[in-house]
């Protein structure tokens, strides 16, 4: 077993040490006296997906260059070679989580498909009207919506498990709420937002006393905690490869063999059948193939096994200790920044830290950090019910991995402080924002700005100067669907048929984009509005290639709303 050393470990991840990213970041003005020499990309979005080590990437090339054939179905040697690697990967995963048999490992596209499989098949077999499905309020949408759909089809009832002040599922409430009406209990091992380890052993034990099946979402836990499904005695445990150094598009559904055998197939087609006939009843394959219809993601599965082998060569206790060091250092540094509020009490159990900043929209902070090469996540994190439960609209989430460093955290904290200082200081743009601002003026202004961070600051400044929309006009009729934050636009027309648009958003970055978009459409006729080439306009400003997909789509959603209003 290799000793774990952070700087050596990070060298295995090509994207992290990519020199082009270094050049990009060092061009940022803020780094004149604060250069972060180790990397050009500070990647703090590991809860969404981890970066991939070189051995996993190379495994893809090796498969397609040396082993590419379909599995299980051919009699030639190349297929046998691919099948052996594919099934060895199943054995690797079974051993990794201590499953009783490799038959209990079902390949899926990811955690989401694993849960959909369970909801659809269990719903057909065990749910009746009035039965109860319990879901923790902290769950990811993937562990909520599939159960809502099957509940609507079967007449079952969704019940929620509340949290304690620290963000863990409240065991006292579990004891009181679970009765013999409970048929399925769903909860995450670790929430993707509050990052607290739930008392799942106690929850599983309680579920057994009332005869309920347990579905544990391990998507966040699997990269940070040792998982022993036999010790937990859960009925199902699901997770994704891409959150633990493996490829996207590969997931695992662990289920107890007896329960899986009693469940009907999820999808039909090749491989999942034993016999097919027009005159006799079709019979299904044995486990695990009964649930694996069609050609699987063969290369992805094999690469996933390579990812597991990569991480198992290190002492897990050493990695865990380093992750805790990173977490405590970052958490304590954030504590020192005025206005930072953590969404639950006490430090997280894994390397995921969720927080808000008073009087600052989380998207504004995230986009500002991105302009300095820092990648983290903002929004509701696919946990809208949790946001409602905590009475917040969204939050920022820093999620760390063992290839992150203390130096990166220091850089992040310094940049965050600088952003907050800039936000509270008096900044002005020499571009006057008014009802008559023209797109030519916007283009001229942005043509003189060379770097993305400077463009971003100009957008934020424009957002500060946009006249706010009267609250009475912020309603469902004016709401722009497709923006990552709330945004509204209203239209009025002159006697000459020229349109005037007013808009607003709860995020400065979106308000800045609104100024830019409105400049292209204000004081135009319907025909002129419909003929605006918005892609060329955005291209001339040098914006869309730097905006996140959600903000880029948000800008296009604004355009769609304006064009729709002009046609109404």
Residues 212-239 pLDDT 10s: 999 999 999 999 999 999 999 999 999 9
Please give the Cα distance from 428 to 418 (Å, whole number): 17
- Beta bridge mates, 495: none
Please give the Cα distance from 236 to 260 (Å, whole number): 9
Please give the Cα distance from 383 to 144 (Å, whole number): 9
* Alpha-carbon distance values, 21 to 42, 255, 390 (Å): 10, 42, 37
- Residue 50 pLDDT class (50, 70, 90 cuts): very high
Place of tokens 């100067």: 465
Please give the Cα distance from 284 to 276 (Å, whole number): 9
Q: What is the DSSP letter of 264?
A: P
Of residues 31 and 271, the one with the higher pLDDT is 271
pLDDT at 277: 85
Of residues 539 and 493, the one with the higher pLDDT is 493
pLDDT at 28: 46
| E strand map for 117-193 | 132-136, 157-161, 182-188
Q: Which of 187, 303, 330, 382 is catalytic?
A: 382
| The two three-digit tokens of residue 327, written as one number | 């977490």
Distance between terminal CA atoms of the chain? 67
CA angle 20, 22, 27 (to 5 degrees): 100
Please give the Cα distance from 260 to 121 (Å, whole number): 10
Instruction: Return the exposure string of 494-512: e unless at least 16 CB atoms fall within 10 Å of the residue's CB, then b.
Output: eeeeebbbbbbbbbbbbbb
CB 305 within 8 A of CB 93: yes
pLDDT at 447: 79
- Return the domain boundaries, the chain: 6-44+315-423, 439-567
Of residues 303 and 19, the one with the higher pLDDT is 303
136 in helix, strand or coil? strand
What mean pLDDT is reported for the chain?
89
% of the chain with per-residue pLDDT over 90: 67
Place of tokens 């065991």: 171
Cis bond upstream, residue 312 (ω within 30): no
pLDDT at 319: 96
- Rg over alpha carbons for the chain, rounded to the nearest Å, is 26
* 356, pLDDT greater than 90: yes
pLDDT at 440: 79
- Beta bridge mates, 239: 252
CB proximity list for 495: less than 8 A, separation 6 or greater: none
Q: How many CB atoms lie within 10 A of CB 333?
A: 18
- Residue 33 pLDDT class (50, 70, 90 cuts): very low
Catalytic (active site) residue 330? no
Please give the Cα distance from 144 to 162 (Å, whole number): 14
Please give the Cα distance from 202 to 218 (Å, whole number): 16
Please give the Cα distance from 523 to 435 (Å, whole number): 9
Of residues 22 and 88, the one with the higher pLDDT is 88
What CATH number does the domain located at 6-44+315-423 have?
3.90.1150.10
Q: What is the CATH topology of the domain spanning 439-567?
A: Sufe protein. Chain: A (3.90.1010)
pLDDT per residue as tens digits for the range 233-259: 999 999 999 999 999 999 999 999 999
Do β-strands 236-240 and 213-217 pair in parallel, antiparallel, or remain unpaired? parallel
Please give the Cα distance from 331 to 347 (Å, whole number): 7
Q: Which of 135, 219, 144 is nearest to 169 (CA)?
A: 135
The DSSP H or E segment spanning 364 is helix 362-370
Please give the Cα distance from 307 to 59 (Å, whole number): 9
Lowest mean pLDDT among 178-182, 272-276, 444-448: 444-448
* 273, pLDDT greater than 70: yes
Please give the Cα distance from 56 to 61 (Å, whole number): 9
Please give the Cα distance from 413 to 90 (Å, whole number): 42
Please give the Cα distance from 100 to 321 (Å, whole number): 29
112 in helix, strand or coil? helix
- Residue 37 pLDDT class (50, 70, 90 cuts): very low
Q: Which of 365, 542, 414, 448 is nearest to 31 (CA)?
A: 414
User: Residue 391 — left, alpha, or beta (φ > 0 → left; ψ -120 to 50 → alpha)?
Assistant: left
pLDDT at 26: 44
* 25, pLDDT greater than 60: no
pLDDT at 32: 40
Q: Which of 2, 4, 10, 21 is nearest to 372 (CA)?
A: 21
Q: What is the DSSP letter of 425?
A: S
The DSSP H or E segment spanning 41 is none
| The two three-digit tokens of residue 167, written as one number | 């963000």
Place of tokens 């830019």: 516
* 51, pLDDT greater than 60: yes
CB 216 within 8 A of CB 195: no
Please give the Cα distance from 349 to 219 (Å, whole number): 15
pLDDT per residue as tens digits for the range 410-465: 999 999 999 998 876 645 455 544 444 567 788 887 877 877 778 888 888 888 88
3-state class percentages of the chain: helix first, strand second, coil last, to nearest 5: 45, 15, 40
């Amino acid at each position: 077993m290799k000793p774990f050393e952070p700087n050596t470990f990070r060298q295995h991840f090509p994207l992290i040490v990519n020199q082009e990213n270094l050049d990009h970041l060092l061009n940022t003005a803020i780094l004149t006296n604060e250069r972060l020499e180790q990397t050009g990309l500070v990647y703090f979005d590991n809860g969404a997906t981890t970066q991939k080590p070189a051995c996993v990437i190379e495994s893809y090339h090796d498969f397609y260059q040396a082993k590419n054939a379909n599995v299980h179905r051919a009699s030639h040697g190349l297929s046998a070679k691919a099948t052996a690697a594919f099934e060895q990967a199943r054995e690797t995963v079974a051993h990794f989580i201590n499953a009783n048999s490799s038959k209990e490992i079902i390949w899926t596209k990811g955690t989401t498909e694993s849960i959909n499989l369970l909801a659809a098949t269990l719903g057909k077999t065990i749910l009746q009207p009035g039965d109860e499905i319990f879901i923790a309020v902290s769950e990811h949408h993937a562990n909520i919506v599939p159960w809502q759909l099957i509940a609507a089809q079967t007449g079952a009832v969704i019940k929620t498990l509340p949290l304690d002040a620290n963000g863990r599922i409240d065991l006292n409430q579990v004891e009181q709420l679970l009765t013999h009406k409970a048929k399925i209990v769903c909860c995450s091992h670790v929430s993707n937002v509050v990052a607290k380890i739930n008392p799942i052993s106690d929850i599983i034990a309680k579920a057994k006393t009332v005869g309920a099946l347990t579905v544990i979402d391990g998507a966040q836990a699997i990269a940070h905690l040792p998982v022993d499904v036999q010790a937990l005695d859960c009925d199902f445990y699901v997770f994704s490869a891409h959150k633990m150094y493996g490829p996207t598009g590969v997931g695992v559904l662990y289920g107890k063999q007896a329960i899986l055998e009693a469940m009907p197939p999820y999808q039909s087609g090749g491989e999942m059948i034993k016999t097919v006939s027009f005159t006799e009843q079709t019979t299904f394959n044995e486990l695990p193939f009964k649930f694996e219809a069609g050609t699987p993601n063969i290369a992805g599965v094999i690469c996933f096994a390579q990812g597991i082998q990569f991480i198992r060569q290190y002492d897990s206790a050493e990695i865990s200790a380093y992750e805790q060091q990173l977490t405590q250092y970052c958490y304590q540094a954030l504590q020192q920044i005025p206005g930072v509020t953590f969404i639950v009490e006490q430090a997280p159990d894994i390397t995921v830290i969720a927080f808000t900043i008073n009087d600052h929209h989380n998207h504004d902070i995230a986009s500002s950090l991105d302009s300095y090469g820092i990648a983290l996540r903002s929004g509701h994190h696919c946990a809208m019910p949790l946001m409602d439960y905590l009475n917040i609209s969204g939050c920022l989430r820093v999620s760390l991995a063992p290839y992150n460093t203390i130096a990166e955290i220091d850089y992040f904290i310094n940049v965050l402080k600088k952003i907050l200082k800039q936000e509270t200081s008096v900044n002005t743009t020499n571009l006057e924002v008014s009802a008559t601002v023209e797109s030519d003026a916007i283009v001229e202004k942005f043509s003189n700005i060379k770097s993305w961070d400077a463009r971003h600051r100009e957008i934020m400044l424009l957002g500060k100067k946009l006249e706010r929309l009267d609250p009475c006009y912020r309603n469902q009729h004016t709401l722009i669907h497709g923006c990552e934050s709330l945004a509204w636009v209203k239209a009025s027309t002159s006697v000459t048929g020229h349109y005037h648009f007013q808009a607003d958003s709860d995020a400065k970055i979106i308000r800045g984009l609104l100024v830019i978009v409105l400049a292209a459409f204000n004081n135009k006729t319907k025909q002129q509005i419909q003929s605006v080439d918005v892609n060329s306009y955005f291209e001339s400003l040098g914006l869309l290639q730097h905006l996140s997909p959600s903000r880029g789509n948000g800008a296009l959603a604004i355009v769609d709303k304006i064009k729709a209003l002009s046609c109404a």
